[in-house]
Amino acid sequence: MEIFTVEGAYYTYYNKFPAVVDVSLGIRKGEKFAVIGSNGSGKSTILQILAGLLFPSQGKVFFYDYELSEESLKERDFLRSFRERVGFVFQDSDIQLFCPTVMDELLFGPLQLGMEKSEALERVSEIMQMLKIENLRNRPSYMLSGGEKKRVALGSILTMNPEVLLLDEPTSGLDPKTQVFLLELILALNEAGKTIVIATHDLSLVDEFQFKVAVLSEEHRIEKIGNAEEILKDEDLLLSVNLIHEHIHYHGQTAHTHIHSHYLFHKH
């Protein structure tokens, strides 16, 4: 069953800069889906369209069988059922954290859903334990490190228990330990039945978690949709969309050139 269907979507910033051009894709329930592309290819815009935060100027987006539009999201019941099912974690955690303390941040979602305070508190406590942020309970968000902010931002969405998690560059700017923690968590959440959609240009993520992948070109179009193995083997495709490149480097005294992805095609 497809949870999201995008049909021929276009989006342009300031009526001038195209961000998404004729994009069509489908995301199935429980799937791990990655939108990959170079900087400025439109990954984040696609995620924001799926989250009902931006609306395409042309084309349609469906959540289950319901069209996602500015009008449909003004309907009280639809807005509620959509927002409780779809959680979006922004790349910049700073903009996502707007409550006075970490505790308030995690409580915000459940209270919006009209949950009893005791149940909401229980959820928050469990999430804090899972994310290992119990010690940050009363801290304001501006006194957190980058990794801590990311954990709190994810926690603030998880307390709403969404069916779909949309993650924009989830590992960018994090130290390796936090990255591993976050990725293991994302995988475990997917195994628990959540649909995971990420936007990234990190090919190692795609390989490690075997996502279904949509590759965006620098012209903001979808070049190919396929499984991780199929996409990662297609060096020509990855070169054309600027996700891998040729570079020169030294081995001892010898310089040589080869295709370089910072992960997979670093073959000698």
Footprint on this chain of other proteins (rule: CB under 8 A):
14-16, 48, 51, 53, 63-64, 66, 72, 74-85, 87-88, 90, 92, 94-96, 98-100, 108-109, 112-113, 123, 126-127, 129-130, 142, 156-158, 160-163, 184-185, 187-189, 191-194
Q: How far is the CB of 239 from other proteins (least distance, A)?
A: 32
Torsion, CA 251, CA 252, CA 254, CA 255, rounded to 10? 50
Q: How far is the CB of 15 from other proteins (least distance, A)?
A: 8
In whole angstroms, what is the distance from residue 174 CA to residue 123 CA?
A: 26
In whole angstroms, what is the distance from residue 257 CA to residue 245 CA?
A: 10
Q: How far is the CB of 226 from other proteins (least distance, A)?
A: 28
If the CB atoms of residues 94 and 235 are measured against other proteins, the closer one turns out to be 94
If the CB atoms of residues 104 and 223 are measured against other proteins, the closer one turns out to be 104
The sheet with strand 222-227 has its strands ordered as 86-89, 164-168, 195-200, 32-36, 212-216, 222-227
If the CB atoms of residues 184 and 229 are measured against other proteins, the closer one turns out to be 184
Q: How far is the CB of 94 from other proteins (least distance, A)?
A: 8
Asked if 120 contacts 110 with a C-beta cutoff of 8 angstroms, the reply is yes
If the CB atoms of residues 82 and 211 are measured against other proteins, the closer one turns out to be 82
CA triple 190-96-191, angle to 5 deg:
5
